[in-house]
Amino acid sequence: MSESDIYIVPKRNLGLRIARMREQKGLSQRQYALQLELDRATLNQIEAGVGNPTFETLVRIADGLGAQVDDLFGCDEQLDD
């Protein structure tokens, strides 16, 4: 397995979670991209698991969905401060 292969499944899962959460809010990709002030093609790539969003973009996506970045990755572990 190549180094890039280890990222395929997590990126795909991230994209699927974002798409599912967006759809649960009743938003199309176009509507949500406009809301985020993000290019629709960029959002499409992220949801397809082929984009490489910055942390700042992930924060914007999560915030727009009323979620935390951890939620986008399916993390539910609470870390102690």
Instruction: Give domain status of residue 81, yes or no.
Output: no
Report pTM.
Answer: 0.87
Q: How many domains does the chain have?
A: 1
pLDDT tens digits for the chain (81 residues)? 676 778 899 999 999 999 999 999 999 999 999 999 999 999 999 999 999 999 999 999 999 999 999 999 988 756 565
Q: Two tokens at 32?
A: 């949500």
Place of tokens 């990222």: 7
- Report the pLDDT value the prediction gives residue 80, as an integer from 0 to 100: 61
Instruction: Give domain status of residue 39, yes or no.
Output: yes
Range of the domain at 58: 5-66
- Report the pLDDT value the prediction gives residue 66, as an integer from 0 to 100: 97
The CATH number of whichever domain residue 61 belongs to comes to: 1.10.260.40
Contact 17, 52 (CB under 8 A): no
Instruction: Give domain status of residue 55, yes or no.
Output: yes
SS3 9: helix
